[in-house]
Structure 1
């Protein structure tokens, strides 16, 4: 594996982890989005990662969405409440989403660190060639 391969593989990891953070941030932004009970709730997004087609790194294989059933909350004062006083919220757990966000951030940082170290190694190799 060359230095350039390491940079390329880590770059694919950066891309996947950025998509993962985007999905988690969408989920967190919509965690309190209420709808009428007859309407579908916001569907949480989950990134599916897979090995890249060339076997070097990862790629986003797709986005899976959660259930549109949501959870019913009794809030008769809410403007979208039905006759029984219920509104529907997404079935998203904030602690799980925050844990996913932390994992995605750390993986993102680790891949950036690999890119940085590979760049430093390449620059050091160029300096050896000058001497």
Structure 2
């Protein structure tokens, strides 16, 4: 890979990791949603990454959804509770989502660092040509 391809390739990584961060943010924001037991729970979102079509970098291949079953929680004071006092909540683990958040954040930062280093290399090459 040449220095000139580095920005494009890292840019694809930035896009994938940003989508991953968005998915994790959605999961955390909706982890306390409640629904009736007769309805589906919020389904966690998971990014499916794959190699880019041109072979340089990565792209989002799709989104996988978590279980719509969720978990039944006994909360008789909730207005959505059924006759037995149960509501449905998403089956999302905050600890797991925080780990996903840290991994996505590190990947995002690493790809931005590559873009920054490539930019510095371009400037150095231009300055060599001037002298």
Cα distance in structure 2, aligned partners of 1:29 and 1:16: 20
Aligned length: 131
- 2:103 matched to which residue of 1? 103
1:7-56 deviation per Cα after TM superposition (whole angstroms, max 9, x unaligned): 11100000000000000000000000000000000000000000001110
- 1:34 matched to which residue of 2? 34
Per-residue deviation, 1:91? 0.5
Structure 2: segments with no counterpart, 5+ residues: none
1:89-121 deviation per Cα after TM superposition (whole angstroms, max 9, x unaligned): 000111000100000000000000000000001
CA RMSD of aligned residues (A): 0.5
Per-residue deviation, 1:2? 1.7
Cα distance in structure 1, aligned partners of 2:59 and 2:75: 42
Per-residue deviation, 1:88? 0.5
Tell me the TM-score normalized by structure 1.
Answer: 0.99
- 1:88 matched to which residue of 2? 88
Superposed, 1:111-122 pairs within 5 Å as: 111-122=111-122
4+ residue segments displaced more than 3 Å: none
Structure 1: segments with no counterpart, 5+ residues: none
- 1:50 matched to which residue of 2? 50
Cα distance in structure 2, aligned partners of 1:57 and 1:111: 11
- 2:60 matched to which residue of 1? 60
- 2:73 matched to which residue of 1? 73
Tell me the TM-score normalized by structure 2.
Answer: 0.99
